[in-house]
Amino acid sequence: MQVDLRILRYDPERDAAPHWESYSVDAAPRDRVLNLLQSVKDAQDGTLTFRRSCAHGICGSDAMLINGRNRLACKIRVEQLGRKVSVAPIGGLPVVKDLVVEMEGFFEKYRTVMPYFVNDTPTPTRERRQTAEDRERYDDTTKCILCAACTTSCPSFWAQPSYIGPAAIVQAHRFIFDSRDTAADERLEILADDEGVWRCRTTFNCVTACPREINVTGAILEVTRAIVGRHG
């Protein structure tokens, strides 16, 4: 089938502003949008720029705004979209070129929530034990691949780019509710800041955008309740 592919192009060295360009691409129904982009790059315009790495929904490199919704280009199939496909960069982050956005600000916020295991008590002779229920408590948020689809679909983030954003809160949640970790209070303190969880307006865009089907808004609300419980 022929797919009418529109891509929001922008080369800061050449263009005054982003503009749409159209390409006709031969595709099979089960091809991914990433295949379409690669086909354009290989056969029509080698300057087209986008990120990808694993091509299997694991690394989180290729989140894009596809037919109006944030998705991974390597996961969404042509048959799910139809013959007309539009692709633009994820919103709210500076565009470096075409579909590549500057992610440093995003990762800077991620780093502020201490996204690593903390436990300074003496190391036990065997592993730090945890019940199945304890493990289940944060299972959902372990699925995050830091693709930024949630944060860049969030109206609160668009309106206030200093908002720490859903992805960083999801990463904090993964450790806050881990029974073996001892730094929950520090993380809750960070997220109780003006730029923390209070900026969430529960629009649920993040839930719709997450390619791993994490209940992002639910995680934010759990963190919010933990902050309130701590001060209450």
Residues that bind ligand FES (CB under 6 A): 52-55, 57-62, 72, 74
State the minimum distance, in angstroms, from the CB of residue 53 to ligand FES: 5
State the minimum distance, in angstroms, from the CB of residue 55 to ligand FES: 5
Instruction: Kindly provide the b/e burial profile for residues 158-177, where b requires at least 16 CB atoms within 10 angstroms of the residue's own CB.
Output: eeeeebbbbbbbbbbbbbbb
CB atoms within 10 A of CB 148: 24
- Residue type present at position 54: C
Helix (H) or strand (E) holding 229: helix 216-231
State the minimum distance, in angstroms, from the CB of residue 212 to ligand FES: 10
State the minimum distance, in angstroms, from the CB of residue 100 to ligand FES: 13
By beta-carbon proximity to ligand FES, the closer residue of 59 and 114 is 59
By beta-carbon proximity to ligand FES, the closer residue of 173 and 212 is 212
Q: Under DSSP, is residue 231 helix (H, G, I), strand (E, B) or coil?
A: helix
Q: Under DSSP, is residue 29 helix (H, G, I), strand (E, B) or coil?
A: coil
By beta-carbon proximity to ligand FES, the closer residue of 54 and 159 is 54
By beta-carbon proximity to ligand FES, the closer residue of 97 and 187 is 97
State the minimum distance, in angstroms, from the CB of residue 75 to ligand FES: 7
By beta-carbon proximity to ligand FES, the closer residue of 150 and 197 is 150
Q: Which residues fall within 8 angstroms of residue 221, CB to CB, at 6 or more apart?
A: 200, 202
Give the residue among 95, 76, 88 at the shortest CA–CA distance from 34. 76
Q: Which residues fall within 8 angstroms of residue 205, CB to CB, at 6 or more apart?
A: 150, 153, 154, 155
Q: Which residues fall within 8 angstroms of residue 57, CB to CB, at 6 or more apart?
A: 72, 74, 75, 145, 211
By beta-carbon proximity to ligand FES, the closer residue of 3 and 72 is 72
State the minimum distance, in angstroms, from the CB of residue 74 to ligand FES: 3
